[in-house]
């Protein structure tokens, strides 16, 4: 692999070798909860309250 | 481990003292203004401007309190535990995005040499988010050369993401998801960071010595500045920042700051607590988290990990913007990031201090709007004030002249200016006494530098106020600033560029002064310290981007550069002189 040559962007991928990549050693990174679950509005609450009546 | 670290008594006492000082200063300012402005009776505008002076003074006093808390030196230097063998696997992460590859990889070559000289076995991974294929090709070419000349295969790594989701935070997250289990510690840097191998050794040892420490932040010194603006910032970061940072460290305790780079993290702690989701809704308030570092620090603390800042750790460097425009561009991004934190104030489980830090970050950007509102309210109060009544009583023989309250107003102005200047002057006095001023060219030169920096920052303050106000209004109106790449290196501006960039500030200054002169001429003189620098904005933007006052603003890293800085210059010179054509040929 010669670093001195002038690189041709069309074939630049050719210089990238597998050993350039960091080691493969996966680690889980769970998504954190940042936003509290949205509180439903009064209207949604009323609708839910009325739902059993609608179903008889 | 899931308990937010509880602050100790000392930390709580310092926080209470600083908050008390801010409240006292704000109350005194509000009382003075209320007394002076209600001589002719209480009016609506008087209430508004008294409330505004309370808020703005509290903010200034809070900043000053941080310096006063940091002024006393540490009684004993922070622990320097030895490195325990076998040395835990550690990686240095260098996220890059459209950077100059020659400069970036010269830094990596210098750090690699310094790490090996320190007897460490540490990998360095370049995490590229560069979108442009030609720029990426140049990166690959520079990396191939780096490997060839350092023999770094197997310890120096390079990978480029196909999509740069989550920007820098996403870039690091992708590395941890793919390679995190291979390392116990990760030193996170920026593309313009430099760190001594000995510093990395200290950081690893500190993490080994305290298994609850999730993140240790260093205070990077700014290096490589050329212009008047850049060198003033470089001086300020070296001379004033350690004291402010010590105050911050004392007040934040174990819920300390993370500034996104020049810090070491415990990889498993970071992985288990810092997977950031995108916020609901579109940018600027929704989408990916802009200022991820503050959030990651808060999340580490939420998970029970300690986050600490140690300003005494040396050998940690970064570069800064070399002109006002580059500074304003970076500040626009930080503004959006900090305002976005408003969405996270109610995040479940955060330490109260982490929420306070979010509020503080938000206030740092909205404070100029409060100052602007105070000026407007003061003008309105003067314009709408009733005319003086010289004969308030019927059949009064002698006139009653309105009492002159200039004394109270001048006292108030001196108090506010004092809050701005006193911390810097106290730091100068302390540096003179402790001998720290020697590194800044001796007492006389350090004094000249501090005074010049005060004058320069006073001249630039109205410009910064305008840029920050514009940024806040843009974000509040829903404009996403995107993620422009940092502009590094030489930042000299032409007079034309200064005029184009500063014309809107000039126009605002002229208009403000003309309006005030027309409707409240007695206030004209009070507005001159703000309006005159605004009217000189193009000149200031242009002039401060040039290398003026080179004899001032001396910093220790200029007179006696750290070995890693010298090594960086050697690598950079070697690559730029031997193969400029090589790298430029593809551009």
Write the CB contacts of B337 (distance below 8 Å, at least 6 apart in sequence).
Answer: B289, B290, B291, B292, B294
Write down the domain spans for chain B: 90-324
Name the pLDDT band for B38 (thresholds 50, 70, 90). confident
CA B430 remoteness from chain centre:
23
Q: What angle do CA B43, B49, B50 make, to 5 degrees?
A: 90
pLDDT above 50 (res B583):
no
Q: Is residue A11's pLDDT more than 80? A: no
Percent of chain B residues past pLDDT 90, beyond the cut: 73
Question: What's the sign of the alpha-carbon dihedral B178, B180, B183, B186?
Answer: positive
B512 close to B534: Cβ distance less than 8 angstroms: yes
Which has the closest alpha carbon to B261: B321, B191, B183? B191
Those residues whose C-beta lies under 8 Å from the C-beta of residue B574, and which sit 6 or more positions away, are: none
The confidence score (pLDDT) of residue A53 equals 53
Candidates A1, A13, A32, A36: best to mutate against B (most CBs of B within 10 A) is A32
Q: What is the mean pLDDT of chain B?
A: 90
A4 touches chain B (CB under 8 A): yes
Q: How confident is the model at residue A39 (pLDDT cuts 50, 70, 90)?
A: low
A35/B contact by beta carbon, under 8 A: yes
| Rounded percentage of chain B residues whose pLDDT exceeds 70 | 91
Angle between helices B352-384 and B324-340 (to 10 degrees): 110
Using alpha carbons only, what angle is made at residue B68 by residues B459 and B407, rounded to the nearest 5 degrees? 55
pLDDT value at residue A5? 39
Tell me whether strands B185-188 and B90-96 are parallel, antiparallel or unpaired: parallel
> What CATH architecture is B90-324?
Alpha-Beta Complex (3.90)
E strand or H helix at B321: none
Task: Please provide residue B543's backbone torsions phi and psi, each rounded to the nearest 5 degrees.
Answer: -65, -40
Annotate B139-167 with b (16+ C-beta within 10 A) or e (fewer). Answer: bbbbbbbbbeebebeebbbbbbbeebebb
**B180/A26 Cβ within 8 A:** yes
Instruction: Answer yes or no: do B178 and A7 touch at CB < 8 A.
Output: no
Q: What is the ipTM of this complex?
A: 0.81
Q: How far is B162 from chain A (nearest CA, A)?
A: 13
pLDDT at B473 over 90: yes
Tokens of residue B179, six digits: 């390679």
Q: Tokens standing for B295?
A: 């959030």
Instruction: Give the helix/strand (H/E) hosting B208.
Output: helix B197-209
Residues B128 and B139: beta-carbon distance below 8 Å: yes
Q: pLDDT by residue (tens digit) across B456-471?
A: 999 999 999 999 999 9
Give dist(CA B389, CA B125) in Å, integer: 76
With 0-12 / 13-18 / 19 or more C-beta atoms within 10 angstroms meaning exposed / middle / buried, residue B396 is exposed
B46-50, B174-178, B245-249, B534-538: least confident range: B46-50
Confidence of residue B581 (pLDDT cuts 50, 70, 90): very low
Residue B50's pLDDT is: 92
Residue A51: count other Cβ atoms within 10 Å of its Cβ: 9
Among A19, A25, A35, the residue with its CB nearest the CB of B180 is A25
Q: Do A27 and B159 touch (CB under 8 A)?
A: no
- Tokens 């320097």, located at residue: B80
Contacts of B154 in chain A (CB under 8 A): 19
- Strand partners of residue B96: B128
Please write the tens of the pLDDT for every residue from B380-390. Answer: 888 887 666 66
Instruction: Inspect the interface and report whether the beta carbons of B271 and A3 lie closer than 8 Å.
Output: no
Check CB contact under 8 Å for B140 and A3: no
Residue B398, exposed/middle/buried by CB under 10 A (0-12, 13-18, 19+)?
exposed
Q: Are B91 and B183 in contact (CB under 8 A)?
A: yes
B174 touches chain A (CB under 8 A): no
């Amino acid at each position: 692999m010669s670093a001195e040559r002038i690189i041709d962007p069309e074939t630049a991928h050719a210089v990238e070798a597998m050993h350039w990549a960091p080691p493969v050693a996966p680690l889980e990174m769970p998504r954190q909860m940042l936003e509290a679950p949205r509180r439903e509005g009064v209207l949604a609450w009323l609708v839910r309250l009325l739902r059993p009546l609608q179903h008889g | 481990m899931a308990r937010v670290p509880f602050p100790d008594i000392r930390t709580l006492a310092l926080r209470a003292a600083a908050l008390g000082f801010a409240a006292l200063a704000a109350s005194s300012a509000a009382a003075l203004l209320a007394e002076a402005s209600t001589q002719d009776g209480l009016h609506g505008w008087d209430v508004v401007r008294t409330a505004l002076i309370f808020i703005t003074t509290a903010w200034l006093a809070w900043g000053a309190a941080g310096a006063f808390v940091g002024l006393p030196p540490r009684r004993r230097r922070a622990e320097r535990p030895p490195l325990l063998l076998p040395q835990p696997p550690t990686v240095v992460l260098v996220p890059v995005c459209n950077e100059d590859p020659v400069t970036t990889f010269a830094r990596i070559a210098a750090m690699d040499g310094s790490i090996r000289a320190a007897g460490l076995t540490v990998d360095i991974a370049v995490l590229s988010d560069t979108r442009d294929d030609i720029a990426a090709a140049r990166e690959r070419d520079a990396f191939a050369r780096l490997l060839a000349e350092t023999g770094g295969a197997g310890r120096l790594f390079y990978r480029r993401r196909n999509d740069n989701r989550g920007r820098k935070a996403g870039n690091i997250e992708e590395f941890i998801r793919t390679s995190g289990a291979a390392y116990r510690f990760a030193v996170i840097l920026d593309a313009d960071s430099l760190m001594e191998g000995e510093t990395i050794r200290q950081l690893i040892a500190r993490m080994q010595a305290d298994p609850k420490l999730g993140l240790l932040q260093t205070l990077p010194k700014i290096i490589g500045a050329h212009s008047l603006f850049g060198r003033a910032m470089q001086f300020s970061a070296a001379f004033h920042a350690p004291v402010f940072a010590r105050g911050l460290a004392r007040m934040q305790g174990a819920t300390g700051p993370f500034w996104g780079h020049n810090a070491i993290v415990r990889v498993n702690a970071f992985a288990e607590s810092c997977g950031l989701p995108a916020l609901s809704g579109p940018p600027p308030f929704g989408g990916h988290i802009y200022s991820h570092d503050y959030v990651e620090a808060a999340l580490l603390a939420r998970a029970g990990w300690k986050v600490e800042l140690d300003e005494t750790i040396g050998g940690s460097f970064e570069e800064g913007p070399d002109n006002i425009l580059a500074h304003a561009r970076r500040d626009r991004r930080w503004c959006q990031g900090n305002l976005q934190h408003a969405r996270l104030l109610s995040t479940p489980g955060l330490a109260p201090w982490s929420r306070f830090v979010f509020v503080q970050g938000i206030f740092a950007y909205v404070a100029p709007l409060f100052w602007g509102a105070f000026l407007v309210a003061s003008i309105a109060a003067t314009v709408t004030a009733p005319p003086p009544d010289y004969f308030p009583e019927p059949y009064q023989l002698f006139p009653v002249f309105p009492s002159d309250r200039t004394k109270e107003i001048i006292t108030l102005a001196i108090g506010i200016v004092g809050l701005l200047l006193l911390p810097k002057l106290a730091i100068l006095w302390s540096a003179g006494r402790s001998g720290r001023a020697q590194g800044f060219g001796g007492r006389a030169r350090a004094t000249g530098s501090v005074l010049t920096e005060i004058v320069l920052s006073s001249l630039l303050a109205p410009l910064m106020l305008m840029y920050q106000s514009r940024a806040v209004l843009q974000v509040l109106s829903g404009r996403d600033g995107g993620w422009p790449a940092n502009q590094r290196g030489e930042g000299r501006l032409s007079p034309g560029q200064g005029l184009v960039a500063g014309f809107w500030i000039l126009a605002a200054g002229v208009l403000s002064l003309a309006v005030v002169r027309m409707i409240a001429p007695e206030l004209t003189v009070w507005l001159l310290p703000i309006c005159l620098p605004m009217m000189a904005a193009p000149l200031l933007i242009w002039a401060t981007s040039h290398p003026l006052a080179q004899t001032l603003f001396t910093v220790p890293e200029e007179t006696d550069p750290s070995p890693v800085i010298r090594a960086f210059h050697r690598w950079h010179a070697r690559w730029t002189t031997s193969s400029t054509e090589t790298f430029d040929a593809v551009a």
